[in-house]
Amino acid sequence: MAVRERNNIYLPVKAEVVEKRHLSADVSLFTVRPDVPFDYRPGQFFMVSLWGAGEVPISVASLRKEGAKRSQQGGDLIEFCIRKAGKVTSLIHDVEKGGFLWIRGPYGRSFPLEYATGREMLVVGGGIGLAPLRPVIQWALRERNSIKKVSLLYGARTPDDLIFRDDLKRWAESGVNVVLTVDRATDGWDGNLGVVTTLWHKSEIDFREAVSFICGPEVMIRSAINDLFFFGMPEDRIITTLEAHMKCGVGKCGHCYAGRLYICTDGPVFSFREIKEHNLL
């Protein structure tokens, strides 16, 4: 019986919230410790749920420690960055430290990080889209010897909406070229204004040789991949991750179906080549 239940792909695992940090007005970072360990990679996502509220797909915002062993007490910490966007996420936001979330996963294809080995890496994020890219940057910093250069272009609506500010600062200090921009400045902001795709010149990247990882609102993704392709980046190395309505995460419920692919199992990470081939954007 127990074995079969473990085989139930829809059965979530309990995960205690060990830390909850507000990143912006409507975004919080939940650090959870699941009852069993999970092996996951940047770009993958979990179905996060509360009984009585429902499930939502949330991509992992943390990098799994290298060589982390399966411990008896439960799994390693996993971080989920969750924006209050609908009913379920609002209810999840009511969970405080010490409370529980239920998770199952990880699902989907991860970022092909190996593409970055020996190359320059350009990371382009918009709004909460920085969350799945965070482990990419963390990985790049861990593997800094094999990666030539990391550049991050990150934009948000207002300065208040910029998330992971501590990380941004730390990354900049560790040598990442961090370029920030906002759509609408508030008092005290005298940095860049406008969308990220106006900042290519500040990326200091040789587009032809680099690999890019992109996540953000659909309009941003669309113009970013088009621009990068125009600048000569090969379409295989323009990598993005797509969002879709999902109920199962395992290619059964049909909600994320798009042009013969399931975003959940065939994605959510796609290269520009795949996006063009299957008309995904």
Partner 1 sequence: MRSEWVLPKGHLSYWLRQLRNRASLIAPLRVDGDIVFKSLENIHEVSLDNPALLPSPKEFLLPQQEGMFWTEGERIRPLLNKERRFIFGVRSCDVSALGLLDRFFLEGYGDPFYRERRRNTIFLSIVCNNPDPTCFCIGLGTGPYLEKGFDIQLTDLGDRYFVQAGNRQSQRLVRQWSFLFTTPRKVDYEDQYEVFLSSKARFQKRISLESVREYILAGKVRDSFWESVSERCFECGGCVYECPLCTCFTVTDRSYSFGTERVRLWDTCLFKGFTRMAGGVLPNEKRVLRTKRWYYHKLVHYPDVLGSFGCVGCGRCTVTCPGRIDMATIAIKLRDLQDNGR
Partner 2 sequence: MDKILTVCPYCGCGCGLYLHVEEGRLVGVSPSRSHPVNRGSLCVKGWNAYEFVVHPDRLLKPMIREDSSGLRECSWDEALDYVAHRLAEIRDRSGPDSIGILSSAKCTNEENYLIMKFARAVIGTNNIDHCARLCHSSTVGGLAAAFGSGAMTNSISEIRDAKVLFVIGSNTTEQHPMIGMHMLDAVDRGAILIVADPRRPQIAEFAHIHLRHRPGTDVALLMGIMHVIVNEGLVDIDFVRRRTENFDAFEHVLRGFHPQAVESITGVSIEDIRRVARIYAMEKRSMLFYAMGITQHITGVDNVRACANLVMLTGHIGLPSSGINPLRGQNNVQGACDMGALPNVYSGYQTVTDPRARRKFERAWRRKLPTKPGLTVVEMTEAAYEGRLKALYITGENPLLSDPDLNHVKEAMKGLEFLVVQDIFPNETMEYADVVLPACSFAEKDGTFTNTERRVQLLTRAIEPIGDSRPDWEIIADLSGRMGYEMQYRGTYEIMEEIALLTPSYGGMLHHRLRERHGLQWPCPDVGHPGTPFLHRKKFAKGLGTFITVEFRPPAELPDEEYPFILTTGRIYFHYHTGTMCRRTAVLEREEPACYVEINPLDAERLHVRDKFPVKVSSRRGSIVVSARVTERTPEGVVFIPFHYSEAAANLLTNAALDPTVKIPEYKVCAVKVEPVMKEDRRTRPVKVVDLEDLRIT
Residue ranges in contact with partner 1 by CB under 8 A: 4-5, 7-11, 14, 51-56, 83, 85-86, 89, 100, 218, 243-245, 247-248, 250-257, 259-260, 265
Q: Which residue has the tokens 């609002």?
A: 90
- By beta-carbon proximity to partner 1, the closer residue of 128 and 137 is 128
Query: Which one of 12, 13, 17, 24 is in contact with partner 2 (CB under 8 A)?
Result: 24
CB of 88 to partner 2, least distance (A): 12
Q: With binding defined as CB under 8 A, does residue 97 bind partner 2?
A: no
With CB under 5 to 8 Å by kind, the binding choice for 192 among partner 1, partner 2, none is partner 2
**Which one of the spans 33-41, 140-148, 182-190, 256-264 is the region binding partner 2 (CB under 8 A)?**
182-190
Quote the CA–CA distance of 51 and 53 in Å, as a whole number: 6
- By beta-carbon proximity to partner 2, the closer residue of 172 and 258 is 172
**Which one of the spans 107-115, 174-182, 220-228, 233-241 is the region binding partner 2 (CB under 8 A)?**
174-182
Quote the CA–CA distance of 192 and 179 in Å, as a whole number: 8
With CB under 5 to 8 Å by kind, the binding choice for 9 among partner 2, partner 1, none is partner 1
- By beta-carbon proximity to partner 2, the closer residue of 25 and 36 is 25
Query: Which one of 39, 94, 114, 160 is in contact with partner 2 (CB under 8 A)?
Result: 160
Helices (H), the chain: 2-6, 87-93, 130-142, 165-173, 218-230, 263-266, 272-278
Q: With binding defined as CB under 8 A, does residue 76 bind partner 2?
A: no
Handedness of CA 97, 68, 170, 107 (dihedral sign): negative
Residues sharing a CB contact under 8 Å with residue 229, sequence separation 6 or more, in sequence order:
235, 238, 272
Residue 21: strand pairing partners? 29
Q: With binding defined as CB under 8 A, does residue 192 bind partner 2?
A: yes
Residue 135: strand pairing partners? none
Q: With binding defined as CB under 8 A, does residue 91 bind partner 2?
A: no
With CB under 5 to 8 Å by kind, the binding choice for 212 among partner 1, partner 2, none is none
CB of 54 to partner 1, least distance (A): 5
Q: Are 181 and 196 in contact (CB under 8 A)?
A: yes
**Can you spell out the DSSP letters for 70-107?**
PBTTB---EEEEEE--SHHHHHHHT--TT-EEEEEEEE
Query: Which one of 74, 99, 112, 159 is in contact with partner 2 (CB under 8 A)?
Result: 159
Query: Which one of 6, 22, 142, 184 is in contact with partner 2 (CB under 8 A)?
Result: 22
Any idea of the CA torsion for 241, 239, 222, 108, to the nearest 10 degrees? -20
Q: Are 25 and 18 in contact (CB under 8 A)?
A: no
How many residues of this chain interact with partner 2, rule: CB under 8 A?
A: 24
Quote the CA–CA distance of 214 and 269 in Å, as a whole number: 10
Chain positions contacting partner 2, by CB under 8 A: 21-26, 159-160, 162, 165-166, 168-169, 172, 177-180, 188-192, 202
